[in-house]
């Protein structure tokens, strides 16, 4: 498991989600999970996360994509959903 930086709100308020992201970091499944977490919020299907946590999730998507650019094409699909 790696430690994700700059996600203290997520780690403190949603420890299970944070731990899952740490365990999956670097995989397509991690990116898919991040996308799923943010799209559910945008669609208002769930109560969602507070704004600060959403900012951290968005930053993690960007960080993941920078570190693992083989998922670049997935971002186009993600942006079309919001």
Show the tokens assigned to 3: 């430690």
Rg of the chain taking only CA atoms, in angstroms: 12
pLDDT digits (tens, 9 = 90+) for 7-28: 999 999 999 999 999 999 999 9
Contact residues for 42 (Cβ-Cβ < 8 A; gap 6+): 81, 82
**Tens-of-pLDDT digits for all 82 residues of the chain?**
455 567 999 999 999 999 999 999 999 999 889 988 887 545 555 567 888 999 999 999 999 988 888 775 555 554 555 4
Rounded Cα distance, 30 and 63, in Å? 12
In the Cβ-directed half-sphere of 47, how many Cα atoms lie within 13 Å?
3
């Amino acid at each position: 498991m790696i430690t994700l930086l700059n996600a203290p709100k997520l780690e403190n308020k949603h420890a299970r989600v944070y731990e899952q992201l740490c365990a999956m970091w670097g995989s397509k499944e991690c990116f898919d999970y991040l996308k799923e977490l943010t799209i559910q919020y945008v669609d208002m299907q769930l109560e969602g996360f507070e704004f600060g946590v959403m900012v951290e999730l968005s930053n993690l998507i960007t960080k993941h994509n920078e570190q693992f650019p083989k998922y670049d094409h997935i971002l186009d699909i993600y942006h079309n959903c919001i």
